[in-house]
Amino acid sequence: MSASDLSVSANQVSRVFGSFVAVADATFTVPRGGVTALVGPNGSGKTTLMLVLAGLLTPSSGTVEVCGFNPVTDNFQVRSRVGWMPDQFGMWDSLTALEALTMTGATYRMSADASLARARELLELVHLVEFGDKPAHVLSRGQKQRLGLARALMHSPQMLILDEPANGLDPRSRIELRGIVRQLAEGGTTILISSHVLAELDEMVDDAIFLSAGRTVARETVTDARSARSSWHVRAIDRTPLVSWLEEIHVPFALGQDGSVIVNISGEENAARFLRDALARDIAIVEFAPRGGALEQTYLQLNEERR
């Protein structure tokens, strides 16, 4: 992949706070125009790393290039190309939603007219039109979150960095957020997103970078993660013939609490073959599904290895 196909190229990035190492060694790239997830346990350094990429925090060592610029030496170039949505919307409470957006427009040197037009358009996108003239402090948590998304989009950035954007959103707003993210990506915007709700990421992202204790430890496309799944949930009308067949063919399994059977089969092709054979044996299977999401399985395996 050539440098121009990449929105982010990070090499051995670290960030320390006093003697505490929040990001130890992050080495990864983010392709232009895709949706990439940053996944890791609490405290693994996701927010810190995102702040570095957004040009809001300087790295302690390593090199970073974002949208073709170094966020340390060309800070404004990076910030004018990147939209940042923090995990909590922070803003002077006395500002109205519309003012919060136009003020952001001003910091990006947008003209007052362009800023107002863009702000109105975005309030519509995030369904906050009726809150335009209300002070931001009256917004609910989820509404603030949506205003945060609008703020990140004010200057039509090439890249959007979203830190747990679905936090506090109701189900409909979550679905809409997924739609907005996919739509922006299809229009060429690069998106980097963090979330703890991995099932949600499965449906939204193309690939994921896994962070553990400040280090990038794995990278996987969702397609690969899907085809590598190894734990399947199987339910038959009668569990007995299913269990005796599994014993006969030596496939490892565990009994689920709901009458189901958890079967370990690695890969989708083997799973498809297993299902075909089970049906050929007249085992009345009524449910067959991967157990947990694609990224979730990778995440749990990584945590397991690190115990």
Ligand X SMILES: Nc1ncnc2c1ncn2[C@@H]1O[C@H](COP(=O)(O)OP(=O)(O)OP(=O)(O)O)[C@@H](O)[C@H]1O
Estimate the crossing angle of helix 239-249 against helix 268-280, to 10 degrees: 120
**What does 179 bind: Mg ion, ligand X, none (CB cut-off 5 to 8 Å by kind)?**
none
Place of tokens 């734990």: 231
Q: Whole-number minimum distance, CB 33 to Mg ion, in Å?
A: 25
Task: Name the nearest CA neighbour of 249 among 225, 227, 280, 228.
Answer: 280
Other C-beta atoms closer than 10 Å to the C-beta of 246 total 18
Q: Does 44 bind Mg ion (CB under 5 A)?
A: no
Q: Does 47 bind Mg ion (CB under 5 A)?
A: yes
Nearer to ligand X, 22 or 101 (CB): 22
Task: Name the nearest CA neighbour of 213 among 131, 303, 139, 278.
Answer: 303
Q: Whole-number minimum distance, CB 127 to ligand X, in Å?
A: 26
Residue selected from 43, 179, 252, 259 as contacting ligand X according to rule CB under 6 A: 43
CB 286 within 8 A of CB 235: yes
Nearer to ligand X, 197 or 254 (CB): 197
Q: Which stretch binds ligand X (CB under 6 A): 43-51, 103-111, 245-253, 284-292?
A: 43-51
- Which residues in the 193-252 window bind Mg ion by CB under 5 A? none
Q: How is the chain split among helix, strand and coil, in percent rounded to 5? A: 40, 25, 35
Residue selected from 30, 35, 40, 139 as contacting ligand X according to rule CB under 6 A: 40
Q: Whole-number minimum distance, CB 58 to ligand X, in Å?
A: 12
Q: Whole-number minimum distance, CB 128 to ligand X, in Å?
A: 25
Task: Name the nearest CA neighbour of 162 among 74, 82, 70, 78.
Answer: 82
Residue selected from 14, 37, 45, 110 as contacting ligand X according to rule CB under 6 A: 45
Nearer to ligand X, 20 or 250 (CB): 20
Q: From residue 202, give the alpha-carbon distance in Å to each of 145, 169, 178.
A: 21, 18, 11
Q: Which stretch binds ligand X (CB under 6 A): 17-25, 153-161, 167-175, 294-302?
A: 17-25
Which residue has the CB atom at the shortest distance from Mg ion?
47
Q: Which stretch binds Mg ion (CB under 5 A): 43-51, 53-61, 98-106, 272-280?
A: 43-51
Q: Does 48 bind ligand X (CB under 6 A)?
A: yes
* H or E element, residue 261: strand 261-264
**What does 259 bind: Mg ion, ligand X, none (CB cut-off 5 to 8 Å by kind)?**
none
Q: Does 46 bind ligand X (CB under 6 A)?
A: yes
Q: Whole-number minimum distance, CB 99 to ligand X, in Å?
A: 28
Task: Name the nearest CA neighbour of 268 among 225, 222, 299, 236.
Answer: 225
Q: From residue 129, give the alpha-carbon distance in Å to each of 98, 196, 268, 273, 284.
A: 9, 29, 46, 52, 53
Task: Write the DSSP string, 139-157.
Answer: S-HHHHHHHHHHHHHTT--
CA atoms in the 13 A half-sphere facing the CB of 78 = 25
Supply the Cα-derived Rg of the chain in whole angstroms.
Answer: 23
**What does 79 bind: Mg ion, ligand X, none (CB cut-off 5 to 8 Å by kind)?**
none
Q: Does 59 bind ligand X (CB under 6 A)?
A: no
Q: Does 44 bind ligand X (CB under 6 A)?
A: yes
Alpha-carbon 182 to chain mean position: 12
Residues that bind Mg ion (CB under 5 A): 46-47
Residues that bind ligand X (CB under 6 A): 17, 20, 22, 40, 42-48
